[in-house]
Chain A
Amino acid sequence: MKRRSVVKYAAVAAALSLGLTACTGGGGSSDAKESGTVRVTLANHVWTEGIKAAIPEFEKSSGLKVELTQLGEDQLSDQYNVKLNAGSDEIDVMMYRPLQEGKAFAKNGYLADLTDKVSSDSTWDWKDYQEGPVKATTADGKVVGVPIITEREVLYYRKDLLQAAGLEVPKTMEELEAAAKAIKASNPDTAGFVARTGKSAAVTQFSSFLYSFGGDFTDSSGKSSVNSDAAKKAYAYYGGLIKNYGPANVSTDMSWPEAMAIFTQGKAAFYTEADSLYKNATDPAKSKVADTVGFAPLPAGPAGSKPYNIPSWGLAVNEASSNQDNAWKFIQWATSKDRTLAAQKAGVPGPRSSVWSNAEGTSTYPKDLADAIAVSAKNGVGHDRPEVVTVGKAREIVGEPIVASITGADASAAADSAHDAFQKFLDSEKK
C-alpha cells in the first residue's frame, strides 16, 4: 500500500518534470508564428564587430528586432551541439564554419534549405559568390548557408629583420628555411619561424604545406593518403621548421592567438597564418611590430605554392526555427554587396567576386597583402582540413604527426600510424 503510493508519486513527479522540460524547451513557443525578433548567434570575429555596429540600421529599415548572442569559437560549437541536438528553436540565424560543422549539421538536418531564397533576389545576386565558397555551403545539391568570410594562408614576415640579414622575401620552401635559420642564428632571442602547434589547431595551417609538397589528406578515391611520400616530407618540414628555428620551449598547444602573440611581441621573423587575421599584426594597439610587418604568398614547395582558399565562416538558418523568413531577411541584409564591401574594407576578406574586382574592396589592405591574396585565390585549394562529418576527430588523427615532428619524434613513423587510424576512421564514417 505504502510502496504503491510512492511509485505513484514518483510517476507524477516524473511526468511533471517532463512537462516542465517540455515547457522550457519550447523557448517562447507562444510567439511561434514568425516573431518580430530575430535571434542571431555569431562568433567573436572582426566581421561580427562590423555587423554589430550596423544592426540598428537593419532594425530601422526592416522593423524587426535583433537579439544577438556572441560567443568564442569553442563555446559557439558547444552551444550549437546542445541546442541543435535538442531541436531548440531559440536560434534563428547561426554563424557556422562550413568546413568544420557543415557536413555534420547538414547530415543531422540542422540547416534549413535556402536554395529558393538565394535565387529569389537578383540585386542581392547569388551568382556573384565565388565558386569555392559556394561549394562549401552546399550540401546534397541544396544551398544551406551563405559564405561571409574567406581566408587563404599567407606568409607574415618582419621587413626589418630581413633587411638586417640582407635577405630577399622567400619564394620557395628552401629559401624560407634558409632565411629562418639565418635570422635565428644572428638573433638568439628571436625565433626564425612560428606557426600553430596544437594537434588539432595546426591542421588547417599545415594543409597548405601538405598541398605545396604535392600531398593531400585523402587521395582521389577517398582513401587516406597521409602516409604518402609528399605528406611525410611536409610533416617533417613543418615540424622541423618549428623544432629547429621556432621559439625556445615551444608549446605544442598553440592555436592562432598564441602563435600570433609571439609574432606580434616581436619574437619571430616568419609566421604562416590565415590572411583574415592580418589586422592583429598591423594594428598598433595589438602589435609591437605593426610598422614592419610584410605579407607574401605562401612559398612554393615541390608542387608549387598551393595555399588553401576557403570560406571560413557562413550564415545559416536553423531548420527548427519558426522564424525562417525573417532570419533570411537578416542574412540578406548582412551579406548584401554594400555590407560585404564595408566588411572587406574593415579587414575581412569576403566571398563576393564583385567586391574583389572593385578597387575600393582592397583599398584599405596593405598592398603586398592584397597582391598575396590575389595570387593565392588563383592557386588555392578549396579545403584546409579533411572533408568528413566528424571533423574534430579527423583533425586530431591527421594532426598527430605534426606534433610528433615538432617534438623531434619520427615523423614518418607517426604518419604511418596516423594513416592506419585515419583509414579506419574513414571506413567507420562510410557505414
Chain B
Amino acid sequence: MSVMNARSSAPARSAGRPPSLGGNVSAWSNRHRKWLFAAPAMIFVGVLIVFPLVWTLYLSLTDSQGSVRAATDFIGLQNYLTVLSDTERFWPAVGRTMTFTGVALVCEVVLGMGIALLLWRPFRGEKWVRVAILLPLVATPVAVGMMWRLIFDPNIGFANQLLGMIGIPPQPWLSGQDTALGTTIFMDVWQWTPMVVLILLAGLTSLSDEPDEAARVDGANSFQRFFYITLPLMMPTVIVAILLRGIDALKTFDILYATKGKGGGSFNEVETLNVYAYGLSFDYNQYGLSSAVLILFFMIIIGSMWLLTMRKKAVSK
C-alpha cells in the first residue's frame, strides 16, 4: 500500500511528460480507494433506505392523495396532528401493535427458552426433533396464514371439529371480534418460536459448564441453577433474541393480511400500525397521512430498539 501511495502522491515526478489517462484514473482510484470499495454498499443504502425514508418524510408533510404525481401543498405538521388526534383508528392500532408484539414476544421467549433447555443436552433422536421444530420457520408467512385460516374456519375448519370430538362447543377463532387478535398471536408464536429457540440454543451451547458444576457440587437444585446461574449468564443472548424478534413482530403484516384482509377485518380487529398505514396508502390513497403514520411507526421502532440496546449494555457489564 505504501508503495502505491508513494506513486500516486507524486504525479509530477517524471520530467515534463504529462501522465497518461490510464495513469490518472488509477492514481485517482488509489487516492480514493476507501470510498471506491464502499461505494456499492453506499449506493445500495442510498437507493433502498435513505431515499425512500426521506421521500416518506417529505410526503408526510404534504397533502398528497389520489395520485403521487398530483400537485400537492406543503401543510407542515397537519398530518401528524390529524393522526395523533385520531382515536378511532390510529390509537387503537398502536394499542394492538403493542399487544401483539408484547404477548407474542413473552410467549415466544418463554417457550423458546423451555425448548432450548430441552434440546441443550444430547439425547436420542435429537436430529429429528430439531428438524420438526424448525419446520414452521421455513414456511412462507402468507401460506401459514392461509393454512391456519382453513384450520380455524368456524364452519368447515379442522380446529372446531377437533373441539367437537372432545365435547367443546365451536369457537369463532379468527372471526370473533375478541378472539381474532389472540388467534393471530398464536399463529405468530407457532411460526417464530423456532427462531428464538435457535438463538437461545446457540447461547446455551457457548456457556461454560464450570459455574453450573460448581453450583451442583454446592447442592443447588435444577431450579436454582437455572435462575441463579444459567439465566443471568444467558441474559445478553435473551436480549438479542428479544431485539431481533421484537422488531419483526412490530412490523408483522403478512400473517395479518393473509388471515383478515384489508383493514384487519370488518371491525378492524387485527389492524396494527402496519396494516393501517397500508390501508391508508393502497385503499384510501391518502399518501400524506399514510406517510405520517409510517414515520411515527418508524420512531416507535427506533425508540424500542434503543431502549433494548441500552438494557443489553447494562446486562453485559
Contact = CB atoms under 8 A, between A and B. Distances in A.
A396 interface: yes
Interface stretch (B10-18, B66-74, B202-210, B246-254): B66-74
A428 B200 CA distance: 53
B70 A108 contact: yes
A14 B262 contact: no
Contacts of B160: 249
A212 B290 CA distance: 38
A200 B153 CA distance: 20
Contacts of A104: 66, 285
B170 A248 contact: yes
B267 interface: yes
A250 B42 contact: no
A251 B149 CA distance: 11
A167 interface: no
A249 B43 contact: no
A262 B155 contact: yes
A403 B266 contact: yes
Given A81-B282, A249-B170, A87 B69 contact: yes
Interface of B: 35, 39, 42-43, 46-47, 50-51, 66-70, 153-156, 160, 170-172, 174-175, 177, 260-263, 265-267, 281-285
Given A81-B282, A393-B284, A252 B170 contact: no
Contacts of A174: none
B66 A17 contact: no
26 contacts: A9-B42, A10-B46, A13-B42, A13-B43, A14-B50, A16-B43, A17-B43, A17-B47, A78-B282, A85-B67, A87-B69, A104-B66, A104-B285, A107-B66, A199-B263, A200-B266, A248-B155, A249-B160, A249-B172, A249-B175, A251-B175, A252-B265, A252-B267, A255-B261, A262-B155, A396-B263
Contact of A21 (B47, B156, B283): B47
A398 to B, nearest CB: 13
A403 B175 CA distance: 12
Interface in A370-408: 389-390, 392-393, 396, 399, 403, 407
Nearest to A17: B47
Contacts of B172: 249, 251
Nearest to B160: A249
A17 B51 CA distance: 9
Contacts of A13: 39, 42-43, 46
Interface in A243-269: 247-253, 255, 261-262, 265, 267
A428 B85 CA distance: 18
Given A249-B172, A251-B175, A253-B260, A108 B266 contact: no
Nearest to A393: B284
B285 A249 contact: no
Contacts of B42: 9-10, 13
A74 B43 contact: no
Contacts of B177: 252, 407
Nearest to B51: A17
B266 A20 contact: no
Contacts of B283: 392-393, 396
A16 B282 CA distance: 29
B286 to A, nearest CB: 8
9 smallest CB-CB distances across A and B, nearest first, come from A251-B175, A249-B154, A199-B266, A108-B67, A392-B283, A17-B47, A252-B266, A403-B266, A17-B46
B285 A253 contact: no
Interface centre among B51, B260, B285, by most chain A C-beta atoms within 10 angstroms, is: B285
A249 B35 contact: no
A240 interface: no
A109 B172 CA distance: 45
Nearest to A110: B67
A261 B156 contact: yes
Contacts of A200: 262-263, 266
A265 B155 CA distance: 10
Contacts of A253: 174-175, 260-261, 265-266
A251 B66 CA distance: 32
Nearest to B70: A108
A17 B52 CA distance: 11
Interface centre among A84, A248, A249, A389, by most chain B C-beta atoms within 10 angstroms, is: A249
A423 interface: no
